[in-house]
Amino acid sequence: MIRFTLVCDNGHEFDSWFASNESYEFQIDADLVACPHCNSVKVSKGVMAPAVARTDRGQKHVEPIKQSVALVSDSGGELRRLARELHEKIVASTVDVGEKFPDEARRIHGGEAPDRAIRGQASLEEARALIEDGVAIMPVPILPEKLG
């Protein structure tokens, strides 16, 4: 995992984690990264200090997180249409809570907040922890036109 300091076109600075630089590039190109302060998707890397690894500690091995993917021949466009419809339905049926998603999902799951459908951003670690704790979440499909 790589942590990048990011900055939006409005000057807001925030950190986000990515599986790799390629994952960062893909998510930025697909407008999947939004500023938690203003929801702008015009985001780029900010100035970062290099991380220096310590050699005096044992390092914990973390299995890479894998995402289900598919290579689909869809000359008629039916699957793309369905993905677009699903994305639109999710957006229309949920409240965007932005970066507060993991905390709000836990509150709803625990009965501490009103039961409602929400969407927002979560790191891979946060999503994994939610699933392991029995919180039923799902990724929002990427819009077909963002895939190229």
pLDDT digit string, tens, across residues 44-54: 887 655 544 55
Does the model's pTM come out above 0.75? no
Backbone torsions φ then ψ of 44, nearest 5 degrees:
-140, 170
Examine residue 54 and state whether it is found in any structural domain, yes or no: no
Asked if the structure places residue 58 within a domain, the reply is: no
111 located within any domain: yes
Residues 6 or more apart in contact with residue 83 via CB below 8 angstroms: 141, 142, 143, 144
* C-beta pairs of 110-116 under 8 Å, 24+ apart in sequence: none
Asked if residue 3 is part of any domain, the answer here is: yes
* Domain extent for 136: 76-148
The whole-number pLDDT of residue 72 equals 63
Residues 87, 24 within the same domain:
no
Rounded mean pLDDT of 131-142?
85
- The domain tally of the chain equals 2
